[in-house]
Amino acid sequence: MTSTAIQIDAAFDSGNIEVLSIAGTTARLAIRKDTNSDFFQWFHFRVSNAAGRALELKITGLNASAYPDGWSGYNAAVSEDREFWGRASSSFDPGEDNGTLTIRYQPAGHLAWFAYFAPYSWERHQDLVASCALSAGVTHRVLGHSRDGRSIDCLDLGEGPKQVWLYARQHPGESMAEWWMEGALDCLTDPADPVGRALRRNCTFHVVPNANPDGSVLGNLRTNSLGVNLNREWENPSAAQSPEVLAIRNAMDATGVDLAMDVHGDEAIPAVFLAGFEGIPSWSEALQGGFNRYKAILDRRTPDFQTKRGYPVAGPGRANLSMSTNQLAERFGAVSMTLEMPFKDNDDLPDLAQGWSPERSAQLGRDCMAALLEWLAD
């Protein structure tokens, strides 16, 4: 048996790989493009018949991927039990086969799953929504439906006057964003958590754990099933192109927004950082001050956050209002922010076994809630 070739499958929730060739324990692979789009970067597949042998998996053509800078210094996520996600030693050669990531891993058993980041399945999303909806004081509602008919789920909780919106996975391949949601919701729904209790007294929360369920299930990096990047739709969302955004934005119009966090992952930068709304027409020092103060509090609270690395800020009047963070700051005068977690690791505090992980994403969700409580108290 051990002399036969490995097999590779990706026909499951968020699966994505094309098999070019297999020989023994080696494979040449390519990533399928997002549905109706040219973006590609997310992969998720299973290797079977490994039988404890050393695997060499080559994902080719990556110079044309959405973020070619995402591959150097990156190690693929791997799991044998689909609970614990570690990292498989990987190396990137831009000169091999138009950019090749070579993943080396020797599983203990017959099966191993590989992914761009630990996946967060639609089934687990159902479990998350179910358990939160059963918690005391939590209301669940469906804001609308995706293009393919999946629910845009929202959890509402708290009694306070501040309207806080938390939403994630506009970019479906950024699965760390929904792991972050598990941590934030764990804090907010635990009746014994003093941070959650105090936040619920001060705020009313509206939490959308997955804003792009179609893209998530399809194994896309950035788009819904129509190939639309939802985070470029916030100025003029449409029922035809971006029903997901239209549903969320209409619900925001109904409640108003005082503070918003849009949760993402970044392919290239090995750090956690926040991006704001500099460059919106209604920019003010007071609004900017609110954002800067939140950043400073989070920086003080957790070594997994930093403020040195991040995106360049837009100049005056140059903000892109089709992005949710800018749109919400402009539309509501809200302190609005984009949280970015790494696909790689936090290089200031590296974890060789797991890199950035579901566990660290969830912990950051809790820390972000604690920072919010401190921010409200000032």
Q: Catalogue the active-site residues.
A: 340
Of 174 and 178, nearer to Zn ion (C-beta) is 174
Among 33, 264, 295, 366, binds Zn ion (CB under 5 A): 264
Shortest Å, Cβ 231 to Zn ion: 6
d(CA 273, CA 299): 9
Shortest Å, Cβ 177 to Zn ion: 8
Shortest Å, Cβ 45 to Zn ion: 22
| Segments in 146-305 forming alpha helices (H) | 176-189, 194-202, 213-218, 243-255, 285-301
Which region, judged by CB under 5 A, interacts with Zn ion, from 51-59, 168-176, 181-189, 306-314?
168-176
- The reply to whether 171 sits near Zn ion by the rule CB under 5 A is yes
Token digits of residue 83: 């609970």
- The reply to whether 169 sits near Zn ion by the rule CB under 5 A is no
Token digits of residue 325: 């963070």
Of 107 and 213, nearer to Zn ion (C-beta) is 213
Which region, judged by CB under 5 A, interacts with Zn ion, from 38-46, 57-65, 135-143, 163-171?
163-171
Site pattern 31..60 for Zn ion (x: CB under 5 A):
------------------------------
Shortest Å, Cβ 364 to Zn ion: 16
Which region, judged by CB under 5 A, interacts with Zn ion, from 56-64, 164-172, 307-315, 365-373?
164-172
Q: Convert 142-174 to b/e letters by CB count within 10 Å (16 or more is b).
A: ebbebbeebbbbbbebbebebbbbbbbbbbbbb
Shortest Å, Cβ 171 to Zn ion: 3
CB 99 within 8 A of CB 61: yes
CB 235 within 8 A of CB 327: yes
d(CA 10, CA 22): 15
Shortest Å, Cβ 89 to Zn ion: 26
Of 264 and 344, nearer to Zn ion (C-beta) is 264
Q: What strands lie across the sheet with 335-342, from one edge to the other? A: 138-145, 151-157, 203-208, 162-168, 259-266, 335-342, 273-275
Of 27 and 166, nearer to Zn ion (C-beta) is 166
Helices and strands in the chain, H and E counts = 8, 17
> Where in 174-203 is the site for Zn ion (CB under 5 A)?
174
Count of residues near Zn ion by CB under 5 A: 3
Of 174 and 367, nearer to Zn ion (C-beta) is 174
Distances (CA, A) of 141 to 8, 131, 186, 251: 39, 14, 18, 11
Angle at 314 between CA 312 and CA 317, to 5 degrees: 175
Of 107 and 173, nearer to Zn ion (C-beta) is 173
Beta-bridge partners for 139: 156
Instruction: Point out which residues bind Zn ion (CB under 5 A).
Output: 171, 174, 264
